[in-house]
Homo-oligomer: A and B are copies of this chain.
């Protein structure tokens, strides 16, 4: 009988290559912004924008065009700053609510826990605009009272049992990258709230090269999972933009999508088995089969559960051999519409590469502004001879052109054949192959974009991304109408400087696409910028829904989109979701109140940024 453990678990794990994010997150990550503390955009003494640190391709470089782009596009004035408040102290943190009998029983288990205010604060939030603003300018009225770090499935079972026994709320915490306010503690929760941090349940338990699966603990982080599997020549290929920080459990809970889903699939395609701890016990199938007909698929209760039905503890995922060849590419289109039509045709012919994304002109200009000083790492897109070539010879207008970035994976001949086919189709839509560097740069930028927002926060900018899925025939119009709506709403609310609005077709499917928007504006003169921002984003979501788009392609519902859930799934759908919640968790132990739980009206009150009592210093 063949054993599952064909590759020793420890060889795949932490021995000489520990998980990247430490247990004490504050040792490595920013407390009030995105990502690593050592990596940020700053304005240097020459008044140019620089990206600090050593982790990214862009690190250590200055971007000579970025400052001007920020000034011209979004009205940043380097003399007008809105710096963040100094770090929180214990005095700024709500006193923890203590359920003494729970704490006593927890201590007996020996499972690591902490009521340190920094540990609690770090797990009190995700990365919506609102949450980061609270960190920068306000104060959370409610944060977890205790952080607990299980190290295995059985620890989680114990924690959940105790929470049920003592009526303590559990909010599971994976990578903390939620952008739906899913992690925010309900303001009115009077019971003790525990942040169940899965980061120490982070192992690949076994790799099965006979079935091409890997069984992993749910706290494993994307970058660690891929790095450890790569040592054995494997990958899951699941690469969400958040993969440096997000967890397997979080992907399951939110129905995550990865950049290369065209090859590897989205999370529902990658999953073979899920272990899920609920107040009623462990939910799991008894088999590891690729496909089953056993009534409604129970994996689909766990996927999308958004932390309010239970905790994912272990997952069997499909793995693939590392691709032999990996090649970037890019295509310039005369305009966004041509690009969309081309992507649609590529989808129809089912010949899309691992990844294909189309950015609009605004995003192309933005990417151009992010070029570093040194010309050797990236060849310029429109400098010198190339600019002449593209704009004169081919007639592309740099103010309307759009760019698709591509990633091909596979065997050498496969990749060559795919490239040929894709570029042939592109040419039918006026597209011109524009080289690998532009493609690679496009993907690289996705990982640093989140850092740039933090810089914007220092200069009166609020910004956010939001996304949707939409049928092909509504795609172009949705992009246009949402942009128009955003412009109108900004104007009506007295936003002084034109907003920055851009979109990208970021995934293609047989029947439609995923569209990603970035939206930001300068809020000088606006007293409640976060509320204004949210009102406008809600208008954008209504415009999306009116144009055939969905509530979300992959970010999920959380709290910020609860108000759209009823119309999305209907009364009967919503009632059924609530019936599942009522059955699995009648006492609302998993009390983050996301998705179908609670009244959307309650959450509107959460979205005020309470100001601190003491004044902020502005330089």
Q: Which of A14-22, A25-33, A434-442, A544-552 contacts B (4 or more CB under 8 A)?
A: A544-552
Q: Which of A131-139, A185-193, A299-307, A371-379 contacts B (4 or more CB under 8 A)?
A: A299-307
Chain B, residue nearest A347 (CB): B212
Instruction: Tell me if A557 is interfacial: C-beta within 8 Å of chain B.
Output: yes
Contact A293 B554 (CB under 8 A): yes
**Chain B nearest CB: distance from A200 CB in Å?**
25
Are the C-beta atoms of A556 and B287 separated by less than 8 Å? Answer: no
Q: Is A473 an interface residue (CB 8 A)?
A: yes
Determine which residue in A290, A301, A571 has the highest number of CB atoms from chain B within 10 A of its CB, and name it. Answer: A290
Query: Shortest distance in angstroms between A308's beta carbon and chain B's nearest beta carbon?
Result: 9
* Residues A550 and B301 in contact, CB atoms below 8 Å apart: no
Residues of B within 8 A of A2 (CB): 473
Asked if residues A553 and B254 are in contact (CB atoms below 8 Å), the reply is no
Looking across the interface, which residue of chain B has its beta carbon closest to that of A255? B293
Interface string of A277-294 (1 = CB under 8 A from B): 010111111111111111
**20 pairs of residues in contact across A and B, judged by CB atoms under 8 Å:** A1-B477, A211-B473, A212-B472, A212-B511, A213-B511, A255-B292, A257-B293, A278-B572, A284-B573, A289-B550, A290-B469, A290-B512, A291-B507, A293-B555, A295-B306, A295-B565, A296-B300, A296-B577, A298-B569, A298-B576
Q: Assuming A2-B473, A280-B572, A281-B571, what are 16 further A-B pairs, CB within 8 angstroms? A: A212-B472, A268-B297, A282-B570, A283-B572, A284-B573, A287-B545, A289-B471, A289-B550, A290-B469, A292-B551, A294-B552, A296-B577, A297-B303, A297-B304, A576-B584, A579-B583
Cα distance, A580 to B584, chains bound together (Å):
11
B contact residues around A293 at 8 Å (CB): 254-255, 257, 304, 551-557
B573 contacts A580, C-beta separation under 8 Å? no
A536 interfacial by beta-carbon distance below 8 Å: no
Q: Is A470 an interface residue (CB 8 A)?
A: yes
From the candidates B280, B552, B580, name the one contacting A580 in the complex (CB within 8 A): B580
Chain B residue nearest to A254 (CB atoms) is B293
Residues of chain A from 580 to 609 with CB closer than 8 A to chain B in the complex: 580, 582-584, 595-596
| Total contacting residues, chain A, CB less than 8 A | 86
Q: Quick one: which of A393-441 are within 8 Å of B by CB?
A: none
Nearest CB of B to A351, in Å: 10
**Number of copies of this chain in the oligomer?**
2
A511 to chain B, nearest CB (A): 4
| B292 engages A469 (CB within 8 Å) | yes
Contact (Cβ within 8 A) B287 A296: no
Given known A303-B297, A556-B293, A575-B583, contact A286–B568 (CB-CB < 8 A): yes
Of chain B, the residue at the smallest CB distance from A571 is B281
User: In the complex, what residue of chain B is closest to A4 when comparing beta carbons?
Assistant: B473
Give the distance to chain B from A244, nearest Cβ to Cβ, in Å.
Answer: 21
A362 close to chain B: CB less than 8 A: no
In whole angstroms, how far apart are the Cα atoms of A368 and B580 in the complex?
52
Interface residues of A in 522-545 (CB under 8 A from B): 545
Determine the distance from Cα of A178 to Cα of B550 in the docked complex, in whole angstroms. 35
Q: A177 in the interface, Cβ–Cβ < 8 Å? A: no
Closest to A572 in B: B283
Q: Is A386 an interface residue (CB 8 A)?
A: no
Bound together, the chains give a CA A92 to CA B282 distance in angstroms of 49
Q: Indicate if A272 sits at the interface (CB-CB under 8 A).
A: yes
User: Is B212's CB under 8 angstroms from A577's CB?
Assistant: no
Contact A510 B318, CB 8 Å, known A292-B553, A568-B285, A576-B580:
yes
Residue of B at shortest CB range from A551?
B294
Q: By the criterion CB–CB under 8 Å, are A291 and B514 in contact?
A: yes
